[in-house]
Structure 1
Amino acid sequence: MPTLPTEQIAAVPAANLDILFDLTNTILSAFQKVIELNLQTMKSALTETDEPTRMAFSANDPQQLLVVSESVAAHWRAGTVKLTSTVRYRLCHAS
């Protein structure tokens, strides 16, 4: 029955540890990228909703609030959230 040299027997656990460390580093790296992507998404969402929210809270009467809500809804449907100068004009000149 052939026997393995001591060096080969000792090298197996070390190789397994190297594989374990490599896998752990890969998993942690992927997890870090997912977290970074989530943070970018949250920042983007907050940036996109910042101006409409400020405009809604600055409305002085129900008429202005209605104009803001209609404008924001139209932009959400169109896929753009940022308010254009036309919307700002309508908001400022709502009667």
Structure 2
Amino acid sequence: MILDHELSQLTRPETGVIGSVGFVGLGGAIGFLPSFVAIMSYTEATPPKPTAPPDIMPALCFVACGVIAVICLVIFGLSVYRNKGLAGNIRARKKQRLPVA
């Protein structure tokens, strides 16, 4: 037997490891965004400026953080969506009676 407040606590969404990594990736992508925009402005220059490896690394970090954020946050969102109505479904079940000896 489980009480209502225990059921509510068990079905409350928590970020967990995947959600935390997703939010860290999102923060990294936001942090690298200005560098990425500056590097993209190199392509608009006439003639185009050459890009050196130190210029490319922030762009690669931005892309990696963005990909990590999208993958992890989608997984987190799916788990939250899947468990969204779980407490209501459990509460709506027919009550089982204990067998009388």
**Per the shorter chain, which TM-score range?**
0.3 to 0.5
TM-score (norm 2): 0.40
TM-score (norm 1): 0.42
Does 1 or 2 have the higher relative contact order (CA < 8 Å, sep 6+)? 2
